[in-house]
């Protein structure tokens, strides 16, 4: 194969050649030139949420989950109580990591094919005054469902509760404006809709709550307040930064601005999603979610009901044709997932549909019709 395989996953994802080339230079982690990259990147990230007046942005080494864990530990006092509305796998992960850090967590369950209900969150906050924070997954990538960020933010503000938003797979694609929404923290990462490479997370923290975060974290490496204070004094990361990842994200954010920012990225991903869903429908595949709750980030499809279907063979067939799919994340029904994000467009999505059609034919499966 004369090209990299297209990653139809929710990150890591396909990057441009410009982004890859940005990683070919070595940087000194304390050097003024590298510190300038970090500063420029932090400024661009604040631009995306229009957050210069209200928030700081603190970068952190590691996967997105590192930053979710760091945000909860830094923002939530040790006697705090976190409510996690749960409609999928990443919500469950947020609840688990909150408990593992010794914070009280209450999980509020919802159906996996439905968005979180802001009214139900409102009701729970009314009945339990001990809750201090709500952790909301903006786009639950276990299924692809978009949760109502603005509505939940309004409820939290009404009750005076802190809101921590996991915007891992939505940031830079779905609209988020710090002037219109109040959130104490919002978490995203380099290898998602900004189309950088994995290895760095970042957390927007509201200036009004920042000072109160000192001493909350029980972790040295993941104390975002400490990281912010140190960066303010020195311009440097406290511990060795992923220099190549930072340089790649700096280049990727420059391309993001050139493309037209968040509205342009959302438009391209929406077109990708439509191309995928329409093409897969012609092959008989049925999405797990109703269209009105489907975010244009990742689509969960029911697996074909045919006796010959086996995900590993299906995956390998698509891979041989140049496309990497993603397994399902549901426990009740068999599914697989296809991402719509990354440095790809309509042509790549149509080619992916063609690869699925060829793989079905090779497996002796007439179409993708799911079990009833």
Token pair, residue 108, equals 């509020």
Query: Which tens digits make up the pLDDT trace of 117-153?
Result: 999 999 999 999 999 999 999 999 999 999 999 999 9
Classified as helix, coil or strand, 295 is: coil
Query: Which tens digits make up the pLDDT trace of 183-199?
Result: 999 999 999 999 999 99
- pLDDT at residue 2, as a whole number: 53
CATH code that applies to domain 6-10+261-363: 3.90.1150.10
- In the chain, what percentage of residues exceed pLDDT 90? 97
What are residue 58's DSSP bridge partners?
203
In CATH terms, 17-258 corresponds, of 3.30.420.40, 3.40.640.10, 1.10.540.10, 3.40.50.1370, to 3.40.640.10
Cis check for the bond before 109: say yes or no (omega within 30 of 0): no
Sketch the domain layout of the chain as residue ranges: 6-10+261-363, 17-258
pLDDT tier at 360, thresholds 50, 70, 90? very high
Query: Which tens digits make up the pLDDT trace of 2-20?
Result: 568 999 998 899 999 999 9
Q: Fold identical between 6-10+261-363 and 17-258?
A: no
Between CA 287 and CA 303 the distance in angstroms is: 9
Please classify residue 333 by burial: count the beta carbons closer than 10 Å to its beta carbon, then call 0-12 exposed, 13-18 middle and 19+ buried. middle
User: Measured over all CA atoms, what is the biggest interatomic distance in the chain, rounded to whole angstroms?
Assistant: 64
The sign of the torsion formed by the CA atoms of 301, 307, 312, 318 equals negative
pTM comes to 0.97
Token pair, residue 275, equals 């191309």
Average pLDDT score over the chain:
97
The sign of the torsion formed by the CA atoms of 7, 249, 136, 100 equals positive
Between CA 24 and CA 75 the distance in angstroms is: 36
- pLDDT at residue 274, as a whole number: 98
Query: Which tens digits make up the pLDDT trace of 310-356?
Result: 999 999 999 999 999 999 988 788 999 999 999 999 999 999 999 99
Q: Quick check: 1 pLDDT over 70?
A: no
Contact 360, 283 (CB under 8 A): yes
Q: Quick check: 41 pLDDT over 90?
A: yes
Residue 215: closest CA among 84, 99, 52, 79? 79
Query: Which tens digits make up the pLDDT trace of 158-184?
Result: 999 999 999 999 999 999 999 999 999
- pLDDT at residue 145, as a whole number: 97
């Amino acid at each position: 194969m004369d090209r990299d395989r297209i990653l139809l996953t929710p990150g890591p994802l396909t990057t441009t050649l410009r982004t890859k080339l940005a990683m070919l230079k070595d940087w000194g982690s304390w050097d003024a030139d590298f510190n300038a990259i970090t500063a420029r990147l932090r400024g661009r990230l604040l631009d995306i949420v229009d957050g210069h007046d209200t928030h700081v942005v603190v970068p952190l080494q590691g996967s997105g989950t590192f930053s979710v864990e760091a945000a909860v530990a830094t923002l939530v006092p040790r006697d705090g109580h976190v409510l996690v509305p749960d409609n999928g796998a990443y919500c469950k992960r947020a609840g688990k990591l909150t408990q593992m850090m010794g914070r009280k967590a209450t999980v509020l369950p919802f159906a996996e094919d439905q968005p979180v209900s802001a009214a139900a969150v409102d009701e729970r906050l009314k009945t339990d005054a001990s809750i201090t924070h709500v952790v909301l997954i903006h786009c639950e990538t276990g299924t692809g469902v978009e949760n109502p960020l603005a509505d939940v933010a309004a409820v939290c503000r009404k009750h005076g509760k802190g809101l921590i938003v996991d915007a891992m797979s939505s940031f830079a694609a779905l609209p988020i404006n710090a002037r219109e929404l109040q959130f104490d923290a919002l978490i995203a990462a380099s290898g998602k809709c900004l189309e950088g490479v994995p290895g760095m997370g970042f957390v927007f923290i509201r200036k009004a709550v920042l000072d109160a975060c000192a001493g909350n974290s029980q972790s040295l490496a993941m104390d975002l307040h400490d990281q912010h204070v140190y960066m303010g004094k020195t311009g440097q990361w406290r511990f060795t930064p992923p220099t190549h990842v930072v340089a790649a994200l700096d280049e990727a954010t420059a391309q993001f601005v050139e493309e037209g920012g968040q509205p342009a990225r959302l438009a391209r991903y929406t077109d990708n999603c439509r191309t995928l869903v329409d093409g897969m429908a012609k092959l008989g595949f049925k999405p797990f979610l109703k269209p009105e709750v489907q975010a244009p980030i990742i689509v969960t499809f029911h697996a074909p009901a045919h006796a010959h279907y086996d995900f590993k063979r299906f995956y390998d067939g698509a891979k041989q044709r140049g496309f990497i799919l993603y397994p399902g994340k549901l426990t009740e029904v068999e599914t697989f997932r296809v991402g719509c994000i990354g440095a790809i467009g309509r042509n790549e999505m149509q080619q992916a549909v063609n690869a699925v059609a060829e793989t079905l034919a090779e497996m002796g499966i007439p179409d993708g019709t799911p079990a009833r």
